């Protein structure tokens, strides 16, 4: 027995185990066997599978493998519960959510122990982080339920929501999904991950205990096949998914064209950037939280250390010294830092990736004798000597593996940070506030933590840029994923005048009676990079007027034209996105002014093409331009005040290069309604104008030319809309596509988007009117992505 003095010397300590018995007793109460929770009742299952404790490989329970019939029953239950739940007053929903929050708090230790048993994460984390945050999410969203009617007037639930979650934060991911869905009046079918379904089942039990109406929350367990059945079920209105980018792609493909709403929270390879002036000891502790928290099985894990070259050696020495003190062991031991890896398949994947890296020449460092042998454990690992393009530097390992690289200048740090297909999060460590914020703006990611890492709160949206997915969870942004504007039947403007051939008072141009070809000099070209461009194909297409007469020709655009237009849009993006909102507003007003100056000519042309009320359409287009000019410097971010010493700045940023495919009717207004919000927020666009009436767009480029719109901000490619939209959707350098058109075209665009997981905003032609009259903030929200920059206050 060592003396106390010796213990102080060695700092050795014995185990401090948390008792597993209460959680095991709860499993025993259920006979270690669970069915699905559907319509407030437990439904027995035909097939089942085992769930393991990864720390000792023992079976914890058997749970049901959800069949299509189970999924169908759950979706039907959710559908049946929807009318009553969605019309339940906000205050009543708030009380349910609050009751759920309180129940989680009251049973917090049971939840924490069960989570650690099932997932292998250290009890310190499940007890101090996962479960308190779960309670916080329900309490926070109880508040949204309470104030929804005032805060989101005119909005209602999306409907029946299918939610598919991963195994790394089983109950927390449930909370992130279920709380906002229920708060806003949706009903839910949740599918937990097959490795970790137990806390979701305990949660279902407390939902029953608080009297949540039957069918409002349904839980169907099972693997990817069960998930796929839920995704494909026609009775589901929205899918919310967190998991791998690969499965995210499959889900985008499966839902393409179905009209289902979709939010995807996918993988990451997040940079942890340390400058030479950083508090290095603080940064080392941050790094421990960034990559060894939850065994590194965190979508936003700081798995790529980027350290300034001048301090690289000293910093890595500190990291290795700290790694040697990390304890890997029984997750229920309160004194351990790193628990078990969730499943053997994950352990194999981590091992394989590291060994492949070693074979490729990477240096792999692990502290000696770090791991117990009776479960699925992997030691903390530091990998050096890798190039930025190597597999280990690019692939999401999802384990306790840190890859280190160095940089010299801040610009190089940003370039390296952005050198992956992901964009989920980043940490920036420096004492220089200018540098911190500058680098934070430069890194393309949904969350940036300054001198901190892995901070989460219900008030602050979380989600990705690029292939890390789209949609946000948390905060007002997250809430908006679960609502939709309710149809309004009121005095919308009428687009087509009753007498299509009438000449209105302001338009003295005589109606066209001469059906011959227009003079050759009126054959407009495409508009790419601020220049008129001939179509690559060398073909033109005829444009017909409302009466069937030929009124012009436009170029037949193809893949190459789109490619050139995307290049032009990309080249100018930095400058346009970096311009001030005020500057962009000035330019949009100027476009409106110049369009107004030529309104007669535009009205005549519109009438000629569509037979509609051209003057009214031009007026509305001018008004829309004014609206988005107004918002260019008014659609701002917000400051979240999470319950930490700090603030999170929610900053809207442009998405990038956006492809736009316009509706057939109302060619000018349709185009302006899509292009104006995008460019007002700093995006650059490649527009495919109305296929039938493209001349409105080709005329517009003259207005753009005279209005100081920089070359490349708006590019116009005429041709067959759905063909060109497909090229845009499949183009890896296009960041989003907005589409108004046919059901078939919508499916093509949505499934074409999976290459780089671009965001799509698609509508059917029949929705065109509602797109054009949409409240501006809705289009603006689609035109930006929110970056949350977390700034700690105080030392
Ligand atoms: P996964 O993406 O396959 O699983 C996540 C969830 O999706 C689970 O509930 C699963 O049952 C479900 N699912 C699987 N296939 C589906 C399908 N076709 N349709 C609908 N749902 C489906 O992730 P997995 O296999 O557990 O882990 C593999 C790798 O994915 C990890 O090593 C890690 O790199 C990454 N991953 C990333 C996560 C993140 O939060 N970023 C979370 C989980 C995994």
Give the tens place of pLDDT for each residue, 382-394.
999 999 999 999 9
Distance CA 564, CA 216 (A): 50
Does 653 participate in catalysis according to the annotation? no
pLDDT in tens, 671-687: 999 999 999 999 999 99
Given ligand 1 and candidates 51, 195, 244, which is best to mutate, with the most ligand atoms within 8 Å of its CB?
A: 244
Distance CA 430, CA 479 (A): 33
| Arithmetic mean of pLDDT, 740-747 | 96
pLDDT band, residue 497 (cuts 50/70/90): very low
Q: How many helices (H) and strands (E) does the chain have?
A: 28, 32
Please compute the mean of the pLDDT values over residues 410-428 and round it to a whole number.
97
Q: 405 near 306, Cβ under 8 Å?
A: yes
- Which atom of ligand 1 lies closest to the CA of 194? 11
Q: How far is the CA of 178 from the centre of ligand 1 (A)?
A: 18
**Alpha carbon of 247 to ligand 1 centroid (Å):** 6
- Catalytic residue, chosen from 265, 473, 619, 730, is 265
pLDDT at site 16: 87
Tell which residue, 795, 789, 684, has the closest CA to residue 439: 789
Residue 110 above 70 pLDDT? yes
Query: Alpha carbon of 363 to those of 353, 366, 385: distances in Å?
Result: 13, 10, 6
State yes or no: pLDDT of 616 exceeds 50: yes
pLDDT at 99: 93
> 764: how many CB neighbours lie within 10 A of its CB?
16
Q: Check whether 162 has a pLDDT greater than 60.
A: yes
Task: Please write the tens of the pLDDT for every residue from 282-316.
Answer: 999 999 999 999 999 999 999 999 999 999 999 99
- Number of other residues whose CB lies within 10 A of the CB of residue 26: 18
Element (H, E) at 621: helix 614-632
> pLDDT of 306-346, one tens digit each?
999 999 999 999 999 999 999 999 999 999 999 999 999 99
Give the pLDDT confidence score for residue 502 in this predicted structure.
33
- Relative to beta strand 238-242, strand 261-265 is parallel
Residues with CB under 6 A from ligand 1: 164-168, 191, 193-194, 223-224, 227-228, 231, 242-244, 247, 250-251, 266-267, 299, 346, 349, 396, 398
Contact 601, 769 (CB under 8 A): no
- CA–chain centroid gap for 549, Å, is 47
pLDDT reported for residue 770? 73
In this structure, are residues 506 and 601 in contact, taking their beta carbons and an 8 Å threshold?
Answer: no
pLDDT tier, 522 (very low <50, low <70, confident <90, very high otherwise):
low
What pLDDT score was predicted for residue 644? 82
Average pLDDT over residues 540-553: 87
Residue whose pair of structure tokens reads 């692939």 in the numeric block: 395
Alpha carbon distance 570, 573 (integer Å): 5
Element at 310 (helix H, strand E): none
Q: Is the pLDDT of residue 35 over 50?
A: yes
Q: Binning pLDDT at 50, 70 and 90, where does residue 537 land?
A: confident
List the single range of 55-59, 116-120, 620-624 with lowest mean pLDDT. Answer: 620-624
- Angstrom distance (rounded) from CA 207 to CA 298: 27
Query: 59 CA distance to ligand 1 centroid (A)?
Result: 22
Residue 267 CA to ligand 1 center (angstroms) comes to 9
pLDDT at 523: 61
Distance 22 CA to ligand 1 centre (A): 30
Task: Please pick, among 18, 125, 299, 477, the residue that the annotation labels catalytic.
Answer: 299
User: Rounded mean pLDDT of the chain?
Assistant: 92
Of 305, 283, 308, 306, which Cα lies nearest the Cα of 296?
A: 305
Q: Find the range with the poorest average confidence among 166-180, 418-432, 688-702.
A: 688-702
pTM value? 0.87
Q: In whole angstroms, what is the distance from residue 155 CA to residue 152 CA? A: 6
Give, using CA atoms, the residue closest to atom 35 of ligand 1: 244
299 is catalytic: yes
CA dist., res. 170 & res. 160, Å (int): 21
CB atoms under 10 Å from CB of 508, counted, come to 9
The pLDDT tens digits for 210-264 are 999 999 999 999 999 999 999 999 999 999 999 999 999 999 999 999 999 999 9
CA-based nearest residue to 287, from 271, 276, 299: 271
- Determine the atom of ligand 1 nearest the C-alpha atom of 195: 26
Report the length, in residues, of the chain. 795
> Which of the pair, 551 or 450, is modelled with greater confidence?
450
Q: What is the pLDDT of residues 166-188, one digit of tens each?
A: 999 999 999 999 999 999 999 99
Beta pairing, strands 646-654 & 736-741:
unpaired
**Cβ pair 185, 88 in contact under 8 A:** yes
The answer to whether 680 and 558 are in contact (CB under 8 A) is no
Percent of the chain whose predicted confidence (pLDDT) is above 70: 95
Q: DSSP string covering 629-663, please?
A: HHHHTT---EEE--SSSEEEEEEEEE--EEEEE--
């Amino acid at each position: 027995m060592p003396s106390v003095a010796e213990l102080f010397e060695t700092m050795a300590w014995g185990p401090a185990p948390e008792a597993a018995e209460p959680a095991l007793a709860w499993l025993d109460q259920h006979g270690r066997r669970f069915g699905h929770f559907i319509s407030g009742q437990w439904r027995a299952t035909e097939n089942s599978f085992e769930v393991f404790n990864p720390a000792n490989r023992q079976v914890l329970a058997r749970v049901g493998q959800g069949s299509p019939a189970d999924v169908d029953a759950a979706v039907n239950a959710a559908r049946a519960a929807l009318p009553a739940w969605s019309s339940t007053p906000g205050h009543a929903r708030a009380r349910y959510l609050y009751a759920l929050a309180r129940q989680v708090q009251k049973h917090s230790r049971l939840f924490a122990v069960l989570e650690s048993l099932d997932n292998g994460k250290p009890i310190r984390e499940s007890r101090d982080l996962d479960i308190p945050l779960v309670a916080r999410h329900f309490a926070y969203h109880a508040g949204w339920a309470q104030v929804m009617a005032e805060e989101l007037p005119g909005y209602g639930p999306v409907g029946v929501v299918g939610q598919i979650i991963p195994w790394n934060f089983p109950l927390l991911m449930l909370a992130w999904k279920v709380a906002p869905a229920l708060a806003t009046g949706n009903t839910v079918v949740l599918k937990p991950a097959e490795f970790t379904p137990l806390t979701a089942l305990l949660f279902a039990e407390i939902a029953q205990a608080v009297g949540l109406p039957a069918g409002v929350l349904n839980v169907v367990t099972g693997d990817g096949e069960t998930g796929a059945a839920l995704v494909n079920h026609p009775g589901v209105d929205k899918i919310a998914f967190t998991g791998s980018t690969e499965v995210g792609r499959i889900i985008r493909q499966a839902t393409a064209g179905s009209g289902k709403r979709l939010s995807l929270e996918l993988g990451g390879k997040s940079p942890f950037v340390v400058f030479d002036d950083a508090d290095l000891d603080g940064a080392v502790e941050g790094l421990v939280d960034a990559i060894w928290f939850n065994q590194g099985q965190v979508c936003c894990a700081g798995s790529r250390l980027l350290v300034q070259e001048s301090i690289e050696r000293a910093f890595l020495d500190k990291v290795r010294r700290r790694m040697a003190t990390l304890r890997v062991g029984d997750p229920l031991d309160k004194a351990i830092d790193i628990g078990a890896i969730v499943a053997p398949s994950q352990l194999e994947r981590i091992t394989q990736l590291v060994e492949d890296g070693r074979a490729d020449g990477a240096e792999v460092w692990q502290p000696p004798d770090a791991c117990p042998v009776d479960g699925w454990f992997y030691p903390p690992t530091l990998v050096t000597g890798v190039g930025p393009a190597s597999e280990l530097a690019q692939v999401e390992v999802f384990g306790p593996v840190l890859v280190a690289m160095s940089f010299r200048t801040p610009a190089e740090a940003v370039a390296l940070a952005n050198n992956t297909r992901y964009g989920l999060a980043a940490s920036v460590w420096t004492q220089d506030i200018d540098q911190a914020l500058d680098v934070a703006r430069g890194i393309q990611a949904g969350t940036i933590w300054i001198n901190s890492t892995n901070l989460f709160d219900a008030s602050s949206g979380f989600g990705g840029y690029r292939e890390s997915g789209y949609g946000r969870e948390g905060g007002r942004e997250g809430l908006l994923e679960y609502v939709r504007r309710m149809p309004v039947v009121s005095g919308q403007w009428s687009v087509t005048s009753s007498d299509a051939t009438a000449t209105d008072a302001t338009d003295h141009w005589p109606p066209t009676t001469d059906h011959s070809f227009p003079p050759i000099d009126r054959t407009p070209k495409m508009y790419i990079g601020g220049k008129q461009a001939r179509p690559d194909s060398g073909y033109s297409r005829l444009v017909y007027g409302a009466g069937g007469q030929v009124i012009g020709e436009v170029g037949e655009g193809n893949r190459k034209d789109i490619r050139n237009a995307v290049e032009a849009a990309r080249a100018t993006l930095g400058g346009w996105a970096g311009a001030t909102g005020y500057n962009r507003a000035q330019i949009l007003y100027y476009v409106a002014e110049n369009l107004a100056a030529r309104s007669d000519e535009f009205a005549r042309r519109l009438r000629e093409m569509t037979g509609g009320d051209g003057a009214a359409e031009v007026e509305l287009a001018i008004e829309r331009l004014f609206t988005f000019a107004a918002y260019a410097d008014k659609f701002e971010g917000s400051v979240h005040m999470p319950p930490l010493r700090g603030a999170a700045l929610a900053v809207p940023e442009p998405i990038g290069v956006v492809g736009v495919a316009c509706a057939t009717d109302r060619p000018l207004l349709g185009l302006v309604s899509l292009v104006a919000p995008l460019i007002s927020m700093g995006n650059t666009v490649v527009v495919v104008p109305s296929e039938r009436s493209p001349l409105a767009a080709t005329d517009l480029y003259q207005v753009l030319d005279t209005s100081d719109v920089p070359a490349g901000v708006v590019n116009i490619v005429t041709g067959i809309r759905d063909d060109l939209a497909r090229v845009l959707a499949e183009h890896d350098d296009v960041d989003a596509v907005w589409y108004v058109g046919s059901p078939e075209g919508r499916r093509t665009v949505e499934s074409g988007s999976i290459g780089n997981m671009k965001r799509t905003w698609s509508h059917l032609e029949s929705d065109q009117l509602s797109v054009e009259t949409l409240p501006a903030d809705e289009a603006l929200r689609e035109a930006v992505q929110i970056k949350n920059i977390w700034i700690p206050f105080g030392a």
